[in-house]
């Protein structure tokens, strides 16, 4: 069980909008009051900001007006009223254009970035980053430079762009480095926590510990900063648990709980109780974990903290499963997964619940249900993967379009400069004929420089086009081909086959592979280790294939190999080699050996002599997917190949589209089994 909530904290995250301004208008003082209430009295803060819009007048300064709209939009965003939040962003962007203010524009673009994230639209958020960075460079107000850079850092960290995230955090730090604002200390502590969180993700645990300990010392020394302590200790506990150092994590969470109770911070109390319970659960101390989860659930229910209520109830169900009460525990866990779906929880959040429910079914030896949940887990993972890739391509295209427009503007400027130079040349010819030769030389030089600029611009344009084409067909993590590349290949393959109008004399092979227990690798070694495993498995598979074959990252932890012109025997032998090369040698990550195996499903195309108009490549891949999950159900580290049909395809079509077990049992579908290398 690994639902250990890694929260930087409700209070800390709120400091992303802790911004102040000079009191050019009486309304600014009330906006400052709103900020003071945000962390400790959110309900009162929301009521206050909603009451302030009526106080806007025609004389309200533009910066104050935009600041109020930013806070109103943030309040609606927190309440998931995204339409109203977007309304206030649009108002601020219009105002920025009217008064030509880069400060207002930077604040509005930062709000837009936060809104895209809240709506789970990372592709649109990515496309906005470069525009926000450019606008931020021209902003003057300290509060806005801090807010924008800090928000950028948080987003870039979530996107695994760690170097850029660190630069953004330091940019935020420099914005307030010499500030006399009363909240400067709070801002600096927040940034220490953010950079510490970044170091935790990168497994730089000692550096994270140093930053957090320094921040905790500062927060304990000043009473006005005590409210930061629950979340700082919470983050310190996450840092220790990631190593794992359970005793130190226990102590940090206990300290955070003490402060959260003292400060009457129910959200932090519930989260810390859950994390303490999770520590007990991981150590097999189920009796000690139960009261912690029960208290966390009760408190979350009182505060209408739905996500934590669901998490605690789910954890309690999992403990029942681990204690042998399978029926009741699995029913409870399944009910929470259903509740998560009712709440329309994002796929990224639902994925964890589905994966852990699958683990619980495995513990209860309910293998059919485990396979069913694993299929859903894989479908969710693929959907997230595909959505992210599509959004990345969209973001690349938008970014490329922006660059192209910038180059067009630059080209027009160059043309204007050239025309000005020609006019100057004519005037000089009329006035001083003696300088004619010099002017010609100058014009020639200018034209040459212009030619070089145009040539360089064209080269950059070609490079950008090449990069865009490459990124649209390749997985950014492993460098392998992606789904889109297969679609293009199969389309060309079909077109070529139709032009030939001849039956193919050879077959191609499809092997679908899924890394076994990949979730456990992420949970026990961290996502960075999971990335290393994916890269290394991709590298090993790539080394096995010939030129002309394809190795694709099909989604999440799934790989697809397309082998050209080979028969069933060669395909079976190749699958055996693939399982051996994956499972024979562990993957090394930070001096830790991670044993990796995979399950596979494979078949030829055309399959069993069936015409591809009846059983095309997409249907063939679904058959391979079902064969793969037979391997999951029957022990993993193995592959099942579909060899032949002993009845007409049309007669078996309905069975093959839903379940392979019946045609196999009836002898209508012939299969072959390939075992991976023995494991300790």
Residue 641 belongs to a domain with what CATH number? 3.30.70.270
**pLDDT level of residue 383 (50, 70, 90 thresholds):** low
Domain boundary among 473, 503, 526: 473
What are φ and ψ of residue 52, in 5° steps?
-85, -20
Structure confidence by residue, pLDDT tens digits, 214-227: 989 988 988 888 88
Which residue, 482, 590, 571, is CA-closest to 528? 590
pLDDT at 526 over 90: no
The helix or strand, by DSSP H or E, that contains position 40, with its residue range, turns out to be: helix 26-40
User: Residues 600, 643: one domain?
Assistant: yes
Instruction: Output the pLDDT for position 426.
Output: 63
User: Residues 426, 537: one domain?
Assistant: no
How far apart CA 503 and CA 518 sit, in angstroms, is 41
Which residue, 169, 126, 166, 131, is CA-closest to 151? 169
User: Residues 488, 611: one domain?
Assistant: yes
User: Residues 498, 439: one domain?
Assistant: no
User: Residues 541, 639: one domain?
Assistant: yes
| Mean pLDDT, rounded, for 517-546 | 89
Instruction: Output the pLDDT for position 368.
Output: 77
Structure confidence by residue, pLDDT tens digits, 586-600: 999 988 999 999 999
Note whether 484 and 549 are within 8 A (CB): no
pLDDT at 80 over 70: yes
User: Residues 461, 513: one domain?
Assistant: no
User: Residues 616, 649: one domain?
Assistant: yes
| Mean pLDDT, rounded, for 176-197 | 81
pLDDT at 439 over 70: no
Structure confidence by residue, pLDDT tens digits, 304-327: 888 888 888 999 998 999 899 999
The verdict on residue 549 lying in a domain is yes
pLDDT at 168 over 70: yes
Structure confidence by residue, pLDDT tens digits, 560-574: 999 998 899 999 999
pLDDT at 179 over 80: no
Look up residue 35 and give its two tokens.
């900020």
The verdict on residue 198 lying in a domain is no
Instruction: Output the pLDDT for position 452.
Output: 72
**pLDDT level of residue 464 (50, 70, 90 thresholds):** low
User: Residues 467, 499: one domain?
Assistant: no
The verdict on residue 141 lying in a domain is no
Look up residue 423 and give its two tokens.
């006019």
Query: DSSP states of 210-266 as a string?
Result: HHHHHHHHHHHH-GGGGGGHHHHHHHHHHHHHTTT-HHHHHHHHHHHHHHHHHTT-H
Domain boundary among 447, 473, 499: 473
Instruction: Output the pLDDT for position 430.
Output: 63
User: Residues 622, 514: one domain?
Assistant: yes
**Of 158-162, 485-489, 531-535, which has the strongest mean pLDDT?**
531-535
| Mean pLDDT, rounded, for 364-380 | 77
User: Which of 12-21, 147-156, 199-208, 484-493 has the least mean pLDDT?
Assistant: 12-21
Domain boundary among 415, 440, 473: 473
Provide long-range contacts, Cβ within 8 A and 24+ apart, for 524-528.
525/589, 525/592, 525/594, 526/203, 526/242, 527/201, 528/201, 528/202, 528/203, 528/589
The verdict on residue 443 lying in a domain is yes
User: Residues 654, 593: one domain?
Assistant: yes
Which stretches does DSSP call E strand in 289-407? none
Domain extent for 564: 483-675
Rounded to 5°, the CA angle 384-474-405 comes to 95
Helices 347-363 and 326-342, packing angle to 10 deg: 170
Instruction: Output the pLDDT for position 350.
Output: 78
The verdict on residue 556 lying in a domain is yes
Instruction: Output the pLDDT for position 516.
Output: 92
The verdict on residue 641 lying in a domain is yes
DSSP state letter for 25: S
| Mean pLDDT, rounded, for 165-174 | 86
User: Residues 542, 631: one domain?
Assistant: yes
Look up residue 503 and give its two tokens.
């039956």
Instruction: Output the pLDDT for position 647.
Output: 92
How far apart CA 146 and CA 16 sit, in angstroms, is 8
Helices 26-40 and 62-78, packing angle to 10 deg: 20
| Mean pLDDT, rounded, for 68-80 | 88
Instruction: Output the pLDDT for position 496.
Output: 65
- Measuring CA to CA, how many Å separate 23 from each of 20, 28, 140? 9, 5, 16
Instruction: Output the pLDDT for position 39.
Output: 64
Instruction: Output the pLDDT for position 325.
Output: 92
Which residue, 95, 94, 86, is CA-closest to 63? 95
The verdict on residue 412 lying in a domain is yes
Total count of domains within the chain: 2
**pLDDT level of residue 414 (50, 70, 90 thresholds):** low
**pLDDT level of residue 12 (50, 70, 90 thresholds):** very low
Note whether 558 and 514 are within 8 A (CB): yes
The verdict on residue 314 lying in a domain is no
pLDDT at 334 over 60: yes
**pLDDT level of residue 51 (50, 70, 90 thresholds):** confident
How far apart CA 359 and CA 368 sit, in angstroms, is 12
Mean pLDDT score across all residues of the chain: 82
User: Residues 515, 637: one domain?
Assistant: yes
Instruction: Output the pLDDT for position 468.
Output: 63
Which stretches does DSSP call E strand in 28-185? none
pLDDT at 36 over 50: yes
How far apart CA 462 and CA 287 sit, in angstroms, is 64
Percent of the chain residues topping a pLDDT of 70: 82
**pLDDT level of residue 498 (50, 70, 90 thresholds):** very low
pLDDT at 161 over 90: no
Percent of the chain residues topping a pLDDT of 90: 31
């Amino acid at each position: 069980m690994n639902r250990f909530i890694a929260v930087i904290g409700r209070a800390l995250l709120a400091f992303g909008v802790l911004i102040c301004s000079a009191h050019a208008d009486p309304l600014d003082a009330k906006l400052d009051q709103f900020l003071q209430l945000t962390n400790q009295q959110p309900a009162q803060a929301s009521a206050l900001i909603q009451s302030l819009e009526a106080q806007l007048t025609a004389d309200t300064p533009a910066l104050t007006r935009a600041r109020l709209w930013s806070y109103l939009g943030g309040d609606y965003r927190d309440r998931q009223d995204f339409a109203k939040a977007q309304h206030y962003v649009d108002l601020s962007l219009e105002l920025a254009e009217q008064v030509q203010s880069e400060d207002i524009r930077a604040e509005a673009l930062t709000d837009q970035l936060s809104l895209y994230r809240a709506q789970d639209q990372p592709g649109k958020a990515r496309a906005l980053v470069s525009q926000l960075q450019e606008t931020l460079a021209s902003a003057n107000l300290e509060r806005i430079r801090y807010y924008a850079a800090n928000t950028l850092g948080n987003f870039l960290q979530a996107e695994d762009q760690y170097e850029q995230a660190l630069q953004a955090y330091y940019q935020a730090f420099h914005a307030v480095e010499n500030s006399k604002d009363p909240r400067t200390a709070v801002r600096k502590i927040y940034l220490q926590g953010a950079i510490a969180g970044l170091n935790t993700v990168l497994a730089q645990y000692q550096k994270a510990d140093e930053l957090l300990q320094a921040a905790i010392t500062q927060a304990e020394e000043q009473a006005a900063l005590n409210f930061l302590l629950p979340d700082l200790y919470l983050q310190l506990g996450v840092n220790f648990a990631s190593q794992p150092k359970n005793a130190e994590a226990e102590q940090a969470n206990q300290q955070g709980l003490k402060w959260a109770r003292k400060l009457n911070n129910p959200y932090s109390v519930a989260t810390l109780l859950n994390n303490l319970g999770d520590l007990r659960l991981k150590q097999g101390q189920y009796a000690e974990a139960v009261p912690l989860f029960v208290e966390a659930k009760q408190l979350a229910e009182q505060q209408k903290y739905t996500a934590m209520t669901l998490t605690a109830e789910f954890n309690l169900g999992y403990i029942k499963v681990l204690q042998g009460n399978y029926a009741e525990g699995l029913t409870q866990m399944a009910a929470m997964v259903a509740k998560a779906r009712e709440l329309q929880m994002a796929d990224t959040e639902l994925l964890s619940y589905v994966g852990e429910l699958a683990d619980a079914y495995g513990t209860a030896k309910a293998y059919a249900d485990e396979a069913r949940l694993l299929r859903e887990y894989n479908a969710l993972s693929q959907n997230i993967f595909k959505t992210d890739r599509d959004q990345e391509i969209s973001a690349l295209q938008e970014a490329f379009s922006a660059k192209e427009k910038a180059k067009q503007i630059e080209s027009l400027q160059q043309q204007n400069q050239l025309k000005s130079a020609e006019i100057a040349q004519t005037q000089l010819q009329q006035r001083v004929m003696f300088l004619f030769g010099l002017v010609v030389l100058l014009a020639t030089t200018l034209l040459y420089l212009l030619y070089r600029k145009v040539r360089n611009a064209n080269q950059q344009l070609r490079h950008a086009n090449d990069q865009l084409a490459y990124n649209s067909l390749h997985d950014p993590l492993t460098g392998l081909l992606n789904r889109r590349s297969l679609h293009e290949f199969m389309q060309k393959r079909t077109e070529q086959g139709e032009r030939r109008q001849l039956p193919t004399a050879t077959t191609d092979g499809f092997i679908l592979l899924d890394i076994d227990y990949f979730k456990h690798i992420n949970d026990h070694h961290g996502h960075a280790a999971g990335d290393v495993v994916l890269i290394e498995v991709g590298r090993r598979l790539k080394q096995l294939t010939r030129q002309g074959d394809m190795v694709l990252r099909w989604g999440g932890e799934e790989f697809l190999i397309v082998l050209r012109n080979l028969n069933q025997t060669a395909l079976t032998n190749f699958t055996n080699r693939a399982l051996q090369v994956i499972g024979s040698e562990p993957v090394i990550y930070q001096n830790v050996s991670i044993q990796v195996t995979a399950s596979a499903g494979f078949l030829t195309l055309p399959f069993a002599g069936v015409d591809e108009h009846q059983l095309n490549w997409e249907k063939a891949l679904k058959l391979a997917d079902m064969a793969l999950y037979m391997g999951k159900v029957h022990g993993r580290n193995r592959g099942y190949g579909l060899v032949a049909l002993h009845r007409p395809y049309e007669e078996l079509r309905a069975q093959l589209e839903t379940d392979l077990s019946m045609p196999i049992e009836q002898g209508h579908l012939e299969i072959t089994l390939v075992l991976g290398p023995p494991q300790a």
